[in-house]
Structure 1
Amino acid sequence: MTIAARLAELGITLPVAAAPVAAYVPVVVSGNLAHVSGQLPFIDGKLVTGRLGADVSLEDGAAAARACALMILAQVEAAGISLDRVSRIVKLGAFINSTADFTDQPKVANGASELMVEVFGELGKHARAAVGVPALPLGAAVEVDAVIELAAG
C-alpha cells in the first residue's frame, strides 16, 4: 500500500506546507537522511498557541503535536520527496511550551509519535526527545522536528 493510500484510509489530508518563519529551509537531505526543521501546530489553518500546564490541556497539546507531525510529512512532500521513500522515522524532537511544574511532556509528544506509527507502521517507530521549554516561536504550544531515513529514489 502506498503512503497516499494509507493516509486516505486513515482519513488524513496533509496540510499545505508552511513557509519558514526565519532564515532556514524546511528540509535538508544529507546522504539518505532528511532533516526536517521544527514544525509548528496548525489545526484548521490556525496556529495552536499557549502553554501546557496553564491554558492548554494535555489532550489539546497531544493534538497540537499530531498537527506538527502532519506538517513534517507535508514538508517532506513539498521538498519533492515521495513519502513512499521513507524507510524509517529515525527521531522526533518535541518541544512543549509548558509551565515549570508541568511534567507530562512525553504524553504531549505521543501525539506526534502515534501519528508516525499510524502512517508508517513499524517504520514509524523512532527515538525521541520530549522537552519542556518556557516559550516557542509565535507563542506556539508545541514544535516538533524530525530525522527521516530515505530509501534510494
Structure 2
Amino acid sequence: MTDIDARLSELGLTLPDAPAPAANYVPFVKSGDLVFVSGQISQGPDGLILGKLGADMDVAAGAEAAKTCALGLLAQAKAACGGDLSKLKRVVKLTGFVNSTLDFTDQPKVVNGASDLLVEVLGDAGRHSRSAVSAASLPMGVAVEIEGIFEIA
C-alpha cells in the first residue's frame, strides 16, 4: 500500500475502477513525465450525478460531484502508473467544466470540490493550476466534467 493509498483509506475514500472511454478516445496519454487524463464525469456508486448548477443543483452538491471527478482522475492516473500510485509526483493542471445556467458564476466554487480533495489526499503535490468554466450542457446531463494533467516518475 502506497502513502497515497493509505491516505485515501484514512479519509474513507475508495478509487473507482478507471472508467473505459465512452467514445473514440483513450482514457489517458503519457508523454514524457506527464500524463494527460481525459475528462472524468461526475458519477458515484449509484450512477451518474446529473444536474445543472443554478437550476436544480446548488454549489455544495456541485462540489460533491466534482469530488467524484477527482477520484476518477486519480483512478486513471493510477492506471497510467501501472497500478502504483507511488509514481505519482504531482497534479499539474485541472480543467473543470460545470453544467450551469447562463447566470451562474460560481464555477470555481464547484471545481474546488476536486481541488480540495486532491490537496487533502496528496498534500502539496495536489496543488495545481486550474481553469473552471461553464458549459451549457455536458455529456449525458452530468453536472461536472474535469480533465487533468499529472507528473509521474
Query: TM-score scaled by structure 1?
Result: 0.95
Query: What is the identity, as a one-letter code, of the residue corresponding to 2:91?
Result: I
Aligned-pair distance for 1:81? 4.5
Aligned-pair distance for 1:114? 0.4
Within 5 A, what are the aligned runs for 1:80-99? Answer: 80-99=82-101
Match of 1:76 in 2: 77
Task: Report how many aligned residue pairs link the two structures.
Answer: 151
Match of 1:105 in 2: 107
Query: Is the CA contact 1:95–1:142 (under 8 Å) kept in the aligned structure 2?
Result: yes
CA displacement 1:75-108 (0-9 Å, x = unmatched): 1223325221111100000000000000000000
Aligned-pair distance for 1:19? 1.6
Query: What is the identity, as a one-letter code, of the residue corresponding to 2:136?
Result: P
Provide the secondary structure at the position in 2 that maps to 1:21.
Answer: coil
Match of 1:49 in 2: 50
Aligned-pair distance for 1:45? 3.4
- Confirm whether residue 40 of structure 1 aligns to residue 53 of structure 2: no
Unaligned 5+ runs, structure 2: none
> Identity of aligned pairs, percent?
55
Query: TM-score scaled by structure 2?
Result: 0.95
Distance 1:66 1:113 in 2: 8
Distance 2:137 2:111 in 1: 16
Query: Is the CA contact 1:76–1:82 (under 8 Å) kept in the aligned structure 2?
Result: no
Aligned-pair distance for 1:8? 0.9
Aligned-pair distance for 1:10? 1.2
Distance 1:57 1:15 in 2: 25
Distance 1:88 1:75 in 2: 14
Provide the secondary structure at the position in 2 that maps to 1:99.
Answer: coil
Query: Is the CA contact 2:77–2:88 (under 8 Å) kept in the aligned structure 1?
Result: no
Match of 2:16 in 1: 15
Name the Cα RMSD after superposition: 1.1
Query: Is the CA contact 1:42–1:68 (under 8 Å) kept in the aligned structure 2?
Result: yes
Query: Is the CA contact 2:77–2:150 (under 8 Å) kept in the aligned structure 1?
Result: no
